[in-house]
Amino acid sequence: MKNIIKQIISFILPITVLIIVPINIEFDISVKSIISLTGGLIFICLGLYIMFLTISSFIKIGKGTLAPWSPTKKLVVNGMYAYVRNPMILGVLIVLTGESIAISSLKIFHWDLLFFVLNNIYFSFFEEPGLVNRFGDEYREYKKHVHRWTPSLKPYNPEITQ
């Protein structure tokens, strides 16, 4: 039961970013072509899948959530996190891109870009320094080998890199 509650709470921020804000940005939702709708839905499904995997990793491996009041107790460096440091936000960005494509909305695409910029600022000045404080050298080593936004082809393995 606790895990179910943690999962529900973990989806509050993504639902706000992915559904509530875009709906408030773009009231006049119309599908202009089946191609854009299909392409957008592919992006949306991919982004949601990435988000599901990463949030599940936080709960199962990290023993916490993405919520600041219930942070992970263990640094998660495997799964999607072995390829890129912020796959959860990458998933959100992919969903927002998919939404903007699916309904041909430049306003939602602008929200997507703004969300990316805001997260860059947040990660640089708050999230990453906080992770250094919480996990120390383990996070510093991970940060050296895994990029913030660009996924690598080869997964990070702490046993090999040290």
Per-domain residue ranges of the chain:
2-161
**In whole angstroms, what is the distance from residue 65 CA to residue 71 CA?**
5
Domain 2-161 class, CATH top level: mainly alpha
Residue 21: the pLDDT is 73
Structural contact between residues 103 and 95, judged by C-beta atoms closer than 8 angstroms: no
**In whole angstroms, what is the distance from residue 64 CA to residue 77 CA?**
14
pTM of the model: 0.78
Low-confidence ranges of the chain (pLDDT < 50): none
Residue 162: the pLDDT is 52
Residue 27: the pLDDT is 58
